[in-house]
Amino acid sequence: MGTPRDAGMRLVMLGAPGAGKGTQADRLAVRYGIPHVSTGDLFRANLSQGTALGQTAQRFMSQGQLVPDEVTEAMAWERLNAGDAETGYILDGFPRNVAQAQHFESKLVLAQQSLRAVVHIYVEPVVLERRLTGRRTCPGCKASYHVVFNPPALAGICDACGAELVQRDDDRPETVKKRLEVYMDETAPLVNYYSERGLLVMVDGNWPVDNVTDAILARLEGDRGHD
């Protein structure tokens, strides 16, 4: 695209809860050999290890609210600076509001790094609710399944690692409603934010998982051809 930038494959997945960010991020991470970094997974890992950070986060997560920016920003930036993320990462769930995006941008500038693209997966609101309430998650490898749309080969068991699947606490209908509201109020403005910066790649996420992956790759690798 003419602008000088570093070679890192840094991608951000943007989309409502249930849009398929985690599902697609897993696939992109395998394809590009870079880590899938999910701030939700980082908070849940802290919670299961009983850290102070995990306990703080849980108070907000269980209400479907965002965890405070400073806590989230510090945790995310630390993870993104681990050795395995040197050549890039698929960032899922961060940034989640304009303040986080601005803070993240200033960190990237200081580090002389840039984002390759922000993939916005768009899904009809009615579909999101069904996806979240039917979601089942692997506590072992964090893979995400759906009881109807994306079931494991053996009901209740992770295809990838054999662990027993669980339903997240915040995938209950009351919390889901709140999370979708928070998304509309706080996260949706990032679509414009990244569009203004020429980074946004829009993908229709209403199609089956494989079709969405193909659409993302076509856009990313097509775009790359213009460098």
Query: Quick one: residue 112, left, alpha or beta (phi over 0 = left, psi -120 to 50 = alpha)?
Result: left
- Contact window for ligand ADP (CB under 6 A) among 12-20, 45-53, 81-89, 112-120: 12-20
Q: Which of 150, 172, 217, 219 binds ligand ADP (CB under 6 A)?
A: 150
Return the structure tokens found at 144: 């995400």
Cα 89 to Cα 109: distance, rounded to the nearest angstrom: 17
Please say whether the dihedral angle defined by the alpha carbons of residues 71, 105, 191 and 38, taken in this order, is positive or negative: negative
Give min distance, CB of 147 to Zn ion, in A.
16
Q: Which of 8, 20, 35, 152 binds ligand ADP (CB under 6 A)?
A: 20
Query: Quick one: residue 88, left, alpha or beta (phi over 0 = left, psi -120 to 50 = alpha)?
Result: left
Which run of H or of E encompasses 203?
strand 200-204
Position 165 contacts Zn ion (CB under 5 A)? no
What torsion do the CA atoms of 107, 110, 111, 116 make, to the nearest 10 degrees? Answer: 70
Bridge partners, residue 88, by sequence: 9
Report the catalytic residues: 21, 96, 135, 168, 179
- Contact window for Zn ion (CB under 5 A) among 44-52, 89-97, 106-114, 140-148: 140-148
Position 46 contacts ligand ADP (CB under 6 A)? no
**Residue 138 site contact among Zn ion, ligand ADP, none (CB < 5 to 8 Å, cut-off depends on kind):** Zn ion
Position 161 contacts Zn ion (CB under 5 A)? yes
9 versus 28: smaller Cβ distance to ligand ADP: 28
Q: Pairing mode, if any, of strands 144-146 and 135-137?
A: antiparallel
Position 11 contacts ligand ADP (CB under 6 A)? no
Position 154 contacts Zn ion (CB under 5 A)? no
Question: Residue 106 to residues 35, 79, 101, 103, 150: CA-CA distances in angstroms?
Answer: 22, 17, 9, 5, 38
Side-chain half-sphere CA neighbours of 106 within 13 A? 6
Position 19 contacts ligand ADP (CB under 6 A)? yes
- Contact window for ligand ADP (CB under 6 A) among 56-64, 81-89, 105-113, 158-166: 56-64
Position 160 contacts Zn ion (CB under 5 A)? yes
- Contact window for ligand ADP (CB under 6 A) among 3-11, 89-97, 152-160, 214-222: 89-97
Question: Which residues in this chain contact Zn ion in the complex, by CB under 5 A?
Answer: 138, 140-141, 143, 158, 160-161, 163
